[in-house]
Structure 1
Amino acid sequence: MNTLPRSLLIVVCFCLTLVSVKVVAEPLRLILRVDDIGMTHATNQGLRDLAALGIPFAASVMFTTPWYQEGVEILKQNPQISVGVHLTLNAEWRHYRWGPIAGRNEVPSLINETGYFYPSTAEFLAQDIKLDEVRLELEAQIQRALATDLDIAYVDYHMRTALATPELEQVVTELAQQYQLRMSMRMGEAVTTLFDVPIEQKQQRFLQHLDSELNADKVNVLVIHAARNHPEMQALIDLNNPIMNTEDMEPLVARHRATELEMLLSPEARQRFQSGKMELINYHQTPNPFKTQ
């Protein structure tokens, strides 16, 4: 009876073993970062809807805005959500404005003639901005956040104005280091937003991103703007971004944000979140480069 040479037999067995082994890919890490919490009651109600899913995500709170305290109450009831300070130097809505919490007399270079923040990053940068006033205001926002007794995990940047120049970014970096807070979008993450995606394309782009665009080598961050479609949102006219209004200046922001809320609450999203192909995390599950022992 003919037999295979021992060396060939070993090779055959090894190949069969490889065929039988299932390669299990590591799940792709994803942080859903929900911005502008505290901006309106409708925004907070969107946060409440997402919190009811029980999944980990990140919520960025605008501590300069009128409804932030309601957002804080919701977040205290949902420890699966990591909280960030949405550092704010702009107020971009017609008829709905906010200003500095450090005091208007303390930071005059940051405000317009009515005492509110400038609507756009470009208008902000066109002023003779004093960096010590920027530091004072952003530190006041961080201190207000910490005073709530929430476990603040990170900072990020409304409209990215606080990162608009190297000098501004240096101020933020020094504050993050001082208060031992992570800097979202400055930790090597792969960041995507659906903010400028047309309403009718958001759901498709969202599912496409989850299905084929997540980075296997980085923490992925998907920036979300979610709110219920309530009258207070329907009245908001964006002075900064044309996609948020029609050509006749009819506001679209409520539809944009309600669409992003609905896509996260959809069965299609739930199926993907539960597929095992991705791991939903929050910022507390990422390293903190500024944390000291």
Structure 2
Amino acid sequence: MEHAGEARGAPAQHPRRLLADRLPDLRLRQGVLSTSDNAVELVVQADDYGMHPAVTDGVDRLFESGIVTQASVMAPAPDASRALASAFRTGMPLGVHLTLACEWDFYRWSPLTAAPTLRAADGAFLPGIPELRSASVDEAYDELVAQVEAVVGAGLSPQHMESHIRPFDLTILAELSSRYGLESRDPIPHPGLTMRLDSLWHLSVQPPETKLASLLDHVATLPSGRHMIVAHPAEDHDDLRRFCPPTSRRWKWAREIRVSDSAALSSPEFAASCRDLGISLSATHVPRQAPSGDPLSHR
């Protein structure tokens, strides 16, 4: 495949798109690195970083309090530049939340590249992955390269990646992972690198009214190894109610899920449970040191 920025001759020929349901889940139990045989390490990852100021602020607060241990940034999203600057300042371990869709009716973002086949009529991304059936795989790859380069260009060293909503094409994800050395949370084929975890659990899909109880039950049953919780925290903000109409199937994802994720993670009960159970909160990679004079608050 020809990469963005390289000279192109004839159009690159891509194999048939490889979809996630055609590949076994390769994420779990792949030479997990733990501090000891009995250690329980918990990675708390915040997705959608930079989507909106309420999301950026919610993730930053939880990182600074020592609960969120890493995040993934949406480089095309409206608050991405502020999120990148904040991650550079604090040294928060960062990945790239690979974005090829904009699911909201009234809050929109656009590709970083020209990418005409990735755009809706308003110039923003199409609303979901199914709408990308006719999209150019080359355009998608070049757009994802531009998103990784945006993070690198902000002075950061991303270490992991995953798809926003769900994967578009596993073949280009594998090539992107190999090209930049990024571990993927999505299951991808060789030569891609898959994230090494013993378990992966999504806080956001738990019912809001029992989310804290579900979180506490989950961490109480973790065996030794490295585990990940994925969340979508945000500060409560009126803007979140304006992303889409209440009749939308995405309505709960606009505010309720995000605010309840934040509440569960920031609860004293969760911090106390991790402490009492001897769970070590960690990132999948050692974070870059914060710039001199701006000490890293997360330990």
> What range is the shorter-chain TM-score in?
0.7 to 0.9
In structure 1, what is the equivalent of residue 200 of structure 2?
A: 191
Counterpart in the other structure of 1:147: 153
**Cα 1:56/1:44, change in 2 over 3 Å:** closer
Q: Which has the larger radius of gyration?
A: 1
Alignment partner, residue 25 of structure 2: none
What secondary structure, in the 3-state scheme, does the structure 2 residue paired with 1:90 have? coil
8 Å Cα contact 1:34-1:226 kept in structure 2: yes
Q: Is the 8 A contact 2:98 2:144 kept in 1?
A: yes
Q: Which residue of the partner structure matches residue 45 of structure 2?
A: 33
Question: 1:59 is paired with a residue of what secondary structure?
Answer: strand
Tell me how far 1:263 sits from its aligned partner: 1.2
The 1:225–1:83 alpha-carbon spacing in structure 2 relative to 1, beyond 3 Å, is same
2:241 maps to 234
2:276 aligned residue: 275
Query: If the length of structure 1 is used for normalisation, what is the TM-score?
Result: 0.77
**Number of the residue aligned with 2:66:** 54
CA distance in 2, matches of 1:90, 1:271: 38
Q: Paired residue for 1:72?
A: 84
* Structure 2 equivalent of residue 203 of structure 1: 212
Percentage of identical aligned residues? 27
Superposed CA RMSD in Å reads 2.3
SS in 1 for 2:93: strand
Q: CA shift at 1:151, angstroms?
A: 2.2
CA contact (8 A) 2:46 2:68 kept: no
CA deviation digits over 1:190-215, x for unaligned, max 9?
A: 21112222211211111111112x35
Distance 1:178 1:252 in 2: 32
Shift of 1:69: 1.3
Which residue in the other structure is 1:17 paired with? none
| Structure 2 alignment gaps of length 5 or more | 1-35, 187-193, 288-299
More helix by share: 1
**Could you tell me which residue of structure 1 aligns to residue 266 of structure 2?**
265
- Asked if 1:284 is matched to 2:264, the reply is no
CA distance in 2, matches of 1:48, 1:187: 23
- Secondary structure, in 3 states, of the residue corresponding to 2:206? coil
The whole-number CA distance in structure 2 between the counterparts of 1:275 and 1:77 is 31
On the 8 A contact 1:92/1:239 being kept in 2, the answer is: no
**Residue of structure 1 aligned with 2:127, choices 93, 101, 119:** 119
**Is the 1:92–1:240 contact (alpha carbons within 8 Å) kept by the matching residues of 2?**
no
- C-alpha distance in 1 between matches for 2:151 and 2:223: 31
CA distance in 1, matches of 2:48, 2:177: 19
Change (3 A) 1:239 1:120: farther
Which amino acid in structure 2 is aligned with residue 140 of structure 1? Answer: A
Q: Distance in 1 between matches of 2:174 and 2:247?
A: 26
Contact (CA 8 Å) 2:42, 2:280: kept in 1 or not?
A: yes
What are the residue-to-residue correspondences of 1:88-167 with 2, within 5 Å? 88-103=99-114, 107-125=115-133, 128-162=134-168
Contact 1:64/1:101 (8 A) holds in 2: yes
In 1, distance between residues paired with 2:202 and 2:53?
22
Q: Deviations over 1:61-115 (max 9, x none)?
A: 0000110111112212322x31001000110011111121012xxx222122222
- Contact 2:241/2:255 (8 A) holds in 1: yes
Q: Could you give the per-residue CA deviations for residues 10-63 of structure 1, whole angstroms, max 9, x where no partner exists?
A: xxxxxxxxxxxxxx9712121111000100000011012112213561100000
Structure 1: unaligned runs, 5 residues or longer: 1-23, 163-167, 246-250, 287-293
> In the alignment, is the contact (CA less than 8 A) between 2:67 and 2:281 conserved in 1?
yes
- Number of the residue aligned with 1:175: 176
The one-letter code matched in structure 2 to 1:187 is M
Q: Is the 8 A contact 2:47 2:232 kept in 1?
A: yes
Aligned to 1:221: 228
* Cα distance in 1 between the residues matched to 2:246 and 2:129: 11
**CA deviations over 1:222-253 (Å, ceiling 9, x no partner):** 110000111111222279972x43xxxxx663
Q: Structure 1 stretch 226-235 or stretch 48-57: which is displaced more?
A: 48-57
Secondary structure of the residue that 1:101 maps to in structure 2?
Answer: coil
Distance 2:232 2:248 in 1: 14
